């Protein structure tokens, strides 16, 4: 192995180790999956809701548990989910099903918008476009879906996202349009 490829291998291993440590830190605080009651979330901003999920005050999200992904980082206008692309999410050709990838990206881009919402507001995805750049296989131990706001207004939000591995390889890209819903 050349010096350059050995250095790259070490960098990927260090990133993977850091991602696993991040996961262990986050998972120790997550509550069991469940649905939050309206009174638990109605007074929380979008960002406060994710803080409450991250601290275990609110239940973790059922789809994340079912599809083995969870929020790893968030801040206003940005959301990162980490997932395990295991063989149970493969299509008949042995690659990770596009629906699993789309679900991670949809979560990242929509939740990036959600982090900017005031208390009492919610959203729904009006459009999601996913571009698949390369096949993802179970040989990739972890991936991250990072969503970032393009623009967020009172009625509509736009965001983009990227799904990448610990080696920095980009597997898919997404854009979304979300409609911001008024309180009931």
**Domains in the chain: ranges and CATH:** 3-181 (3.10.129.10)
pLDDT at 3 over 90: no
| d(C-alpha 114, C-alpha 9), whole Å | 36
Strands (E), the chain: 69-75, 78-83, 122-132, 143-152, 156-164, 170-181
What pLDDT does 1 receive?
67
Convert the pLDDT of each residue in 151-180 to its tens digit.
998 999 999 999 999 999 999 999 999 999
Q: Quote the tokens at residue 85.
A: 């692309």
Q: What is the mean pLDDT of the chain?
A: 95
Convert the pLDDT of each residue in 87-111 to its tens digit.
999 999 999 999 999 999 999 999 9
| Inter-residue contact 127 to 85 (CB < 8 Å) | no
Give, in order, the Cα–Cα distances in Å from 67 to each of 25, 42, 55, 145: 19, 27, 21, 14
For the chain, counts of helices (H) and of strands (E): 5, 6
């Amino acid at each position: 192995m050349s010096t350059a490829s050995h250095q790259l291998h070490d960098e990927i291993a260090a990133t993977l180790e850091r991602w696993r440590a991040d996961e262990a830190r986050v998972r120790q605080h997550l509550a069991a999956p469940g649905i939050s009651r309206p009174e638990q979330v109605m007074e929380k901003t979008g960002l406060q809701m994710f803080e409450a999920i991250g601290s275990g005050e609110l239940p973790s999200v059922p789809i994340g548990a079912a599809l083995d992904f969870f929020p790893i980082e968030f801040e206003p206008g940005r959301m990162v989910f980490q997932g395990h692309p295991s063989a149970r999410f493969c299509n008949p050709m042995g690659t990770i099903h596009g629906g699993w990838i789309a679900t991670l990206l949809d979560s990242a881009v929509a939740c990036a918008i959600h982090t900017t919402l005031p208390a009492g507001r919610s959203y729904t995805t009006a459009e999601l476009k996913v571009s698949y750049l390369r096949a993802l296989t179970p040989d990739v131990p972890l991936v991250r879906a990072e969503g970032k706001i393009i623009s967020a207004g009172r009625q509509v939000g736009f965001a983009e996202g990227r799904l990448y591995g610990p080696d920095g390889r980009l597997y898919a890209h997404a854009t979304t349009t979300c409609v911001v819903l008024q309180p009931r």
